[in-house]
């Protein structure tokens, strides 16, 4: 009788512990009114843009702060088929706001330590948030 009771308890325990093990919902972003799952590259790009890269402190998504907004940057880069990674690697001249290039230049020392994949993730993030 005792054994049956213990068996019953463990079954009940297993059943509830399975239930509570909900899968975490994947984070979504809204693009053009549609929800889209964040790709791993997007998540990395966002993390770098707001964290290690410190880009967000000067670049808001849709309004100018210290630097131009991500929207404005991406609009010009798309129109002119610009090369963001080339710019971040100091191989391309500024095309958005050359008068304030000196302020942006202060980031290049830090950016030298970023891998190509990290820069690609930042570019993808900037691209996706403005679509």
Residues 6+ apart with CB under 8 A from 128: 29, 31, 42, 45
* Candidate residues 10, 16, 57, 90; the one interacting with ligand HEC per rule CB under 6 A: 57
User: Could you give the C-alpha distances from 104 to 21, 40, 59, 60, 111, in angstroms and in order?
Assistant: 46, 27, 10, 14, 11
Distance between CA 31 and CA 23 in Å, rounded? 24
Select 20 or 106, whichever has its Cβ closest to ligand HEC.
106
* Candidate residues 44, 55, 121, 129; the one interacting with ligand HEC per rule CB under 6 A: 55
Select 8 or 101, whichever has its Cβ closest to ligand HEC.
101
Can residue 58 be called a binding residue for ligand HEC (CB under 6 A)? yes
110 neighbors 68 (Cβ within 8 angstroms): no
Select 43 or 58, whichever has its Cβ closest to ligand HEC.
58
* Candidate residues 44, 96, 121, 129; the one interacting with ligand HEC per rule CB under 6 A: 96
How many chain residues interact with ligand HEC (CB under 6 A)? 25
Please work out, in degrees rounded to the nearest 5, the angle formed at the alpha carbon of residue 126 by the alpha carbons of 86 and 52: 80
Q: Which stretch binds ligand HEC (CB under 6 A): 11-19, 20-28, 33-41, 57-65?
A: 57-65
94 neighbors 107 (Cβ within 8 angstroms): no
**CA pseudo-torsion sign 10, 11, 15, 21:** positive
- Residues at the interface with ligand HEC (CB under 6 A): 53-55, 57-59, 66-68, 73, 84, 87-88, 94-97, 100-101, 103-104, 106-107, 111, 122
């Amino acid at each position: 009788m005792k054994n049956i009771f213990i068996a019953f308890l463990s079954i009940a325990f297993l059943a509830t512990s399975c239930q509570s093990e909900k899968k975490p919902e994947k984070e979504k972003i809204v693009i053009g009114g549609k929800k889209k799952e964040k790709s791993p590259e997007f998540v990395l790009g966002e993390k770098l843009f707001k964290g290690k890269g410190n880009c967000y402190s000067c670049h808001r998504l849709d309004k100018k702060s210290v630097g131009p907004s991500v929207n404005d940057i991406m609009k010009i880069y798309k129109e002119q088929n610009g090369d963001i990674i080339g710019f971040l690697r100091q191989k391309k001249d500024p095309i958005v706001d050359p008068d304030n290039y000196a302020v942006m230049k202060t980031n290049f020392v830090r950016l030298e330590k970023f891998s190509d994949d990290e820069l690609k993730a930042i570019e993808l993030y900037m691209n996706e948030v403005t679509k």
